[in-house]
Amino acid sequence: MIDDLLEPLIAFRRDIHQHPELGFCEHRTAGRIAEQLRALGLEVHEGIGRTGVVAVLRNGTSGRSIGLRADMDALPIHEQTNLPYASRTDGTFHGCGHDGHVAMLLGAAQHLTRSRNFDGTVNFFFQPAEEGQGGAREMVKEGLFDRFPCDRVFGLHNWPDLPAGTIATRPGPIMGAADKFEIILEGRGGHAAIPQDTPDAILAAASLVQQLNSIIGRRIAPTASAVLSITQVHGGHTHNVIPAEVKVSGTVRTFGPTVQDRIEASIRQIAAGVALANEVTASVDYQRYYPATINDAEAAQEALSAAATVGTAQLAPEPAFTSEDFAFMLQACKGAYIWLGQAKPEGSVPLHNPHYDFNDDVLALGIRLHVALVEQHLAKG
């Protein structure tokens, strides 16, 4: 029954790919999704979390319920695949496979509407703005789980590091907390030939970068896991002027608040010390924008059990330092985040790469996994 859904779903996925939309701007995408869901006769709600869509499917008499989530936004990247269905919007591109996630969840809705092999309520969550803007947080703030209660919620993401046919998850942390920081060092600015008269923000920035990179090795226990990366240094505009201001920015990834607190405090201490030593001022803007994605242990085991019925189930040996705003849903409802392998035998292009494309060969497996999660949790009898 699932195989006969694939051809139109692939066409739908590629249409979404051709017309990508950034976070909270997914108006066409959300409209097309809602249209498909209404055609199935489902109860459809739009505008949740600004551009999110929720569909509800009920069957039987059980009070049990489950939520399935797909993200639907694109990235601000210029596509370089040269595919016949490549993005028609310059600088916007489905470089993370959210078009595939949408197609898989729609396929699951189509199959479950026909089969009705469950007893309870299925909530299909089509979420906006996963890429750094917190669309899941907005949906939860607007009462997602109050309006659409769930015993469990599951989020599925394609994973190019795993071969197609493999499904992996783990209890506890699976994706990292994502923080970002910006440090502005301010001196007075002056002539490069008279450095003794001008506090040097460039020199201060060099010292700052070096010391920040010592935090993980010297202030965090070797048994803990964390990443700190400097990603931007901006300052100056010509060869003979010491700039008055230099900006240093970066990201921090952790799996627990204790390490997260320690790193933030260390950044602030080091910035203050560098400023004092170099006679400049330092201001630190530190933002914790995504928490760690923490799977409920029972829900992770449910996911592995369902995965084993449709593919190769694998306990992920360690979490990834990339982040995911599905974390906000897991803070509000027990559930699990799942990786769906999509690598071909010849290899796979990584996520967020301008040459990436979702592997349509795993569409059927993704649909079957969604269906297995529903039929297992909402089993009849």
264-304 tens-digit pLDDT: 999 999 999 999 999 999 999 999 999 999 999 999 999 99
User: Of 228, 220, 231, nearest to 178 (Cα)?
Assistant: 228
Q: Averaged over 71-98, what is the pLDDT?
A: 98
Averaged pLDDT for residues 139-144 = 98
Cα–Cα distance, 99 to 74 (Å, whole number)? 8
Q: Where are the beta strands (DSSP E) in 292-369?
A: 293-295, 312-315, 335-343
pLDDT digits (tens, 9 = 90+) for 38-78: 999 999 999 999 999 999 999 999 999 999 999 999 999 99
Residue 356: the pLDDT is 98
172 pairs with which residues across the strands?
Answer: 295
In 3D space, the residue among 153, 143, 122 whose CA is nearest the CA of residue 52 turns out to be 143
- Which residues neighbour 230 within 8 Å (Cβ) at sequence distance 6 or greater? 209, 212, 213, 248, 249, 250
Question: Rounded to the nearest 10 degrees, what angle do helices 98-115 and 363-377 cross at?
Answer: 50
Q: Return the pLDDT at 381.
A: 82
Query: Residue 325 — left, alpha, or beta (φ > 0 → left; ψ -120 to 50 → alpha)?
Result: alpha
In the block, tokens 């292009």 appear at 349
Average pLDDT score, the chain = 97
Angle of helix 98-115 versus helix 6-18 axis, rounded to 10: 150
Backbone angles phi, psi at 362, to 5 degrees: -100, 5
Residue 255 has pLDDT above 90, yes or no: yes
Q: Give residue-wise pLDDT tens across range 200-231.
A: 999 999 999 999 999 999 999 999 999 999 99
**pLDDT over 90 at 1, yes or no:** no
* Residue 338 binned pLDDT confidence (cut-offs 50, 70, 90): very high
Would the pLDDT of 374 be above 90?
yes
Residue 86: is it exposed, middle or buried by C-beta count within 10 angstroms (0-12/13-18/19+)? middle
Q: Evaluate whether 245 touches 201 at the Cβ level (below 8 Å).
A: yes
When pLDDT is averaged across residues 143-147 and rounded to a whole number, the result is 98
Q: Tens of pLDDT along 158-200?
A: 999 999 999 999 999 999 999 999 999 999 999 999 999 999 9
Q: At what angle do helices 6-18 and 27-39 cross, to 10 degrees?
A: 160
Question: Is the dihedral angle over the CA atoms 20, 22, 28, 30 positive or is it negative?
Answer: positive
Q: Are 191 and 276 in contact (CB under 8 A)?
A: no
- Please report the pLDDT score of residue 83 as a whole number: 98
What is the chain's percent helix, strand, coil content, to nearest 5? 35, 30, 35
DSSP character for 93?
A: B
Residue-range domains of the chain with CATH? 3-174+292-377 (3.40.630.10), 177-290 (3.30.70.360)
